[in-house]
Chains A and B, each alone.
Chain A
């Protein structure tokens, strides 16, 4: 398949969203090579705690080892292939034990015991053969408590892979007076009936909110206005919804920054720094921990969310993230997590919780219309009504500094052009 012919600088062929063969190549060449987010270390605090996690097409498990380290292993017994854990999460005690023939494994995947082991005497399969061990991910690393694994032995380090998108985790953790976050142990899980790339494009698509989300934005604005009139002020969570109905011109002023490897940032637009007593108390804690200057630096960063291409959207100012697990060309699971800022007042957690509940929950009044769009896009692109998807908006009108593209207009489709530039490099094996 000639991938170069499918991706042009300003348009892509529809099959990149619909074709099973291309999807399989995406799994092999991108998801099963790059650093994939597994979870936060606070999800598995104690020895034997595990979470099942899918990397590309590979069922894996992230487990806390005896020495406090974290291992990421294939969820597969090396004997006959049975999965070692059958649940999403749990505690496996001191060992994994296969439910079929009781081969057991230490938490690093090394074989611990095989029943009637003398039955393997004289065969190639004895305990010194590494084939008796559970296969680990080639590489595991973490950044500020966020754990990643790569199934490729070679390639860029985690720090190199994240590049400037590291700001996602710095911005989230720096907002804690202790410099750390911990997971809220409930995950919203939703399946979109569409290709994973729609999500990644949409996250930095500034032209869509006032169209797609107008019903919610307008309705919320009306109620917000009334609450303000009645009570003098409206809680911030009304604004989370009403701001979606901002004008095209306002959205056009929200800049995107587009990094190599497809990562990117949508700058802040919500104004999440009110002057109420809760915020002032919180800012005082930060100043005590970091001093005036650093606190100002941390709180004035202009970030709405950060994309780690090809699967993660981190909304650092509200301490939540959405992680994609592609299932097929037209089916994608997203896992949505919320985090607490360690040492921050309860009110700050609750303020961000409203966004988790209103925008990111399975009863979302926002993503309901996104998902509908992407479903219809998936169907539209499966048709013969046209072969190309256009990304021409403001093509040639972005500002490049080195390999970073800054949009001159917030609505520039440089976001998609940049993502597909990375996609093409990954798919053709020319990515560094």
Chain B
């Protein structure tokens, strides 16, 4: 079987350069940092190895008869193909920065740093108060998901659900909270994508380390914030979307608190 769509000149060109020829050509023109010709760095493996290298191996797509080797593999076969009906989801090109004013850029950065610091310091109520009354914290299962409503999610919490989680982790008999645990967030790459009236779209990246008992786990990924100006003029969160880069991985134990 010949492989369709493959330009013959491409395979045909190999005919003119057997391995030994291209090897000797290379050794003549290039040298490694120590000044030795690259070709000379190939260790000698005795007569048999020399024999192999000297063969004029011809890779020619034009030979008669059924193709063998790579060409024989059915074009429909691709070990990297997704399940049929499921699209591959290449990440969209990052949106360019909206070139916000330095003051706005600094304000947003400080806001995101505060968000992370409140989590690390376990100031749950102060963290929740960063959210608008209709604010939502969402960690989707997969990057292609676009809506928190109706989607399988790792976290999907409005203010009431956050209050349940806060009440749980602070309860004296929240057994899994007994072992000492701490987190440390880094937030970076803060990019304001758009500013429309009072709504800002901001993306950033985070790295969170979590210590529990004697074990450390790492969580990395991206934040995407929809920020709005509250009545008092300060920023509040309408939606905090958190994409873990290993959201589909097998989780070793659970995430007990917001990332």
Binding site for B on A (CB under 8 A): 43-49, 85-87, 89-97, 99, 102, 104, 113, 115-116, 184-193, 212, 214-216, 218-220, 222-223, 227, 238, 241, 333, 338, 346, 349-350, 353, 356-358, 361-365, 367-369, 371-373
CB pair A369 B176 closer than 8 Å: yes
Question: B142 an interface residue at 8 Å Cβ cutoff?
Answer: yes
Residue from B77, B156, B160, B173 within 8 A of A215 (CB atoms): B173
CB-based nearest A residue for B250: A189
CB pair A214 B171 closer than 8 Å: yes
Query: Given the interface contacts A44-B83, A93-B78, A116-B68, does A223 sit within 8 Å of B153 by beta carbon?
Result: no
CB pair B76 A93 closer than 8 Å: yes
Interface centre among A44, A96, A99, A190 (most CB of B within 10 A): A190
Identify 14 new A-B residue pairs, CB closer than 8 A, beyond the known A362-B251, A363-B154. Answer: A48-B76, A89-B83, A96-B77, A116-B68, A214-B171, A214-B173, A215-B169, A218-B171, A219-B163, A241-B164, A338-B152, A349-B150, A369-B175, A371-B176
CB pair B152 A190 closer than 8 Å: no
Question: B256 an interface residue at 8 Å Cβ cutoff?
Answer: yes
* A185 contacts across to B, CB distance below 8 A: 83, 86
* B79 contacts across to A, CB distance below 8 A: 85-87, 90, 92, 97, 99
* A338 contacts across to B, CB distance below 8 A: 152
Binding site for A on B (CB under 8 A): 68-70, 72-74, 76-86, 139, 141-142, 149-156, 160-161, 163-169, 171, 173-179, 248-256
* B72 contacts across to A, CB distance below 8 A: 102, 113, 115
CB pair A353 B150 closer than 8 Å: yes
Residue from A97, A116, A220, A358 within 8 A of B73 (CB atoms): A97
* A87 contacts across to B, CB distance below 8 A: 79-80
Residue from B70, B82, B176, B254 within 8 A of A90 (CB atoms): B82
* B160 contacts across to A, CB distance below 8 A: 223, 227, 238
Q: How far is the CA of A200 from the CA of B247 in the complex (A)?
A: 26
Query: Within the complex, what minimum Cβ distance (angstroms) separates A381 from chain B?
Result: 18
Interface centre among A43, A219, A227 (most CB of B within 10 A): A219
CB pair B175 A373 closer than 8 Å: yes
CB pair B251 A94 closer than 8 Å: no
Q: How far is the CA of A294 from the CA of B149 in the complex (A)?
A: 32
Query: Given the interface contacts A191-B251, A223-B160, A361-B154, does A186 sit within 8 Å of B171 by beta carbon?
Result: no
Query: Within the complex, what minimum Cβ distance (angstroms) separates B83 from chain A?
Result: 5
CB pair B176 A372 closer than 8 Å: yes
CB pair B173 A367 closer than 8 Å: no
Query: Within the complex, what minimum Cβ distance (angstroms) separates A366 from chain B?
Result: 10
* B70 contacts across to A, CB distance below 8 A: 102
Q: How far is the CA of A358 from the CA of B254 in the complex (A)?
A: 12
CB pair A190 B77 closer than 8 Å: no
Interface centre among B68, B73, B177 (most CB of A within 10 A): B73
CB pair B77 A93 closer than 8 Å: yes
* A186 contacts across to B, CB distance below 8 A: 141-142, 152, 248
Query: Given the interface contacts A214-B171, A216-B164, A361-B153, does A93 sit within 8 Å of B81 by beta carbon?
Result: yes
Residue from B69, B84, B255 within 8 A of A49 (CB atoms): B84
* A190 contacts across to B, CB distance below 8 A: 250-254
Q: Report 6 cross-chain contacts, Cβ distance below 8 Å, ordered by A residue.
A: A115-B72, A188-B251, A223-B163, A333-B250, A357-B155, A358-B161
CB pair B254 A223 closer than 8 Å: no
Query: Given the interface contacts A193-B253, A219-B167, does A104 sit within 8 Å of B152 by beta carbon?
Result: no
Q: How far is the CA of A87 from the CA of B74 in the complex (A)?
A: 19
Q: How far is the CA of A191 from the CA of B74 in the complex (A)?
A: 38
Closest 8 pairs between A and B when the two form their complex, measured CB to CB:
A219-B167, A93-B76, A215-B171, A215-B174, A372-B176, A46-B84, A93-B77, A189-B250
CB pair B254 A363 closer than 8 Å: yes
Query: Within the complex, what minimum Cβ distance (angstroms) separates B49 from chain A?
Result: 22
Interface centre among A99, A193, A365, A369 (most CB of B within 10 A): A365
Q: How far is the CA of A237 from the CA of B249 in the complex (A)?
A: 26
CB pair A371 B254 closer than 8 Å: yes
CB pair A94 B80 closer than 8 Å: no
Residue from A86, A191, A357 within 8 A of B156 (CB atoms): A357
CB pair A363 B176 closer than 8 Å: no
CB-based nearest B residue for A218: B171
* B169 contacts across to A, CB distance below 8 A: 215
Q: How far is the CA of A46 from the CA of B84 in the complex (A)?
A: 6
Query: Given the interface contacts A184-B152, A191-B250, A363-B154, does A90 sit within 8 Å of B175 by beta carbon?
Result: no
* A333 contacts across to B, CB distance below 8 A: 250
Query: Within the complex, what minimum Cβ distance (angstroms) separates B116 from chain A?
Result: 18
Q: How far is the CA of A85 from the CA of B83 in the complex (A)?
A: 13
Q: How far is the CA of A99 from the CA of B177 in the complex (A)?
A: 47
* A90 contacts across to B, CB distance below 8 A: 79-83
* B249 contacts across to A, CB distance below 8 A: 189
CB pair A353 B77 closer than 8 Å: no
Query: Within the complex, what minimum Cβ distance (angstroms) separates B167 from chain A?
Result: 3
Query: Within the complex, what minimum Cβ distance (angstroms) separates B84 from chain A?
Result: 4
CB pair B164 A97 closer than 8 Å: no
Query: Given the interface contacts A92-B77, A97-B73, does A219 sit within 8 Å of B171 by beta carbon?
Result: yes
Query: Given the interface contacts A369-B176, A371-B254, does A188 sit within 8 Å of B77 by beta carbon?
Result: no
CB pair A223 B83 closer than 8 Å: no
CB pair B255 A363 closer than 8 Å: yes
Q: How far is the CA of A102 from the CA of B1 in the complex (A)?
A: 15
* B139 contacts across to A, CB distance below 8 A: 363
CB pair A188 B76 closer than 8 Å: no
Query: Given the interface contacts A188-B141, A216-B168, A363-B139, does A368 sit within 8 Å of B256 by beta carbon?
Result: yes
